[in-house]
Amino acid sequence: MKSYKILFVVAALISASFAFAADAAKDAAPKKANCCVKAEKDGKACDHKCCVAAAKEHKNCETCKGTNAPAAAKH
């Protein structure tokens, strides 16, 4: 029973570090909002007001879950 417990802890630790790595990658790379990606696939620009405003500042819309590089976020 003891070794079973240890296995469980190890598995939890591994999954936690994977989640952390995924979060770090998310932070590193700016990501476009899903609606904007969809519009781009159709060869259009996203017509959400918030996305248009963000695009004017050469940013991804954060209102629609897009992300920007930390350096460009505030200036």
Q: What torsion do the CA atoms of 22, 26, 28, 30 make, to the nearest 10 degrees?
A: 160
- How many Å apart are CA 16 and CA 11, to the nearest integer? 9
- Of residues 28 through 57, those in contact with Zn ion by CB under 5 A are 33, 35-36, 46, 48, 50-51
Which of the stretches 1-9, 14-22, 25-33, 67-75 binds Zn ion when contact is defined by CB under 5 A? 25-33
Smallest gap, in angstroms, from Cβ of residue 55 to Zn ion?
Answer: 8
Q: How far is CA 36 from the centre of its chain?
A: 14
- Binding residues with Zn ion: total (CB under 5 A): 10
Which residues contact Zn ion by CB under 5 A? 33, 35-36, 46, 48, 50-51, 61, 63-64
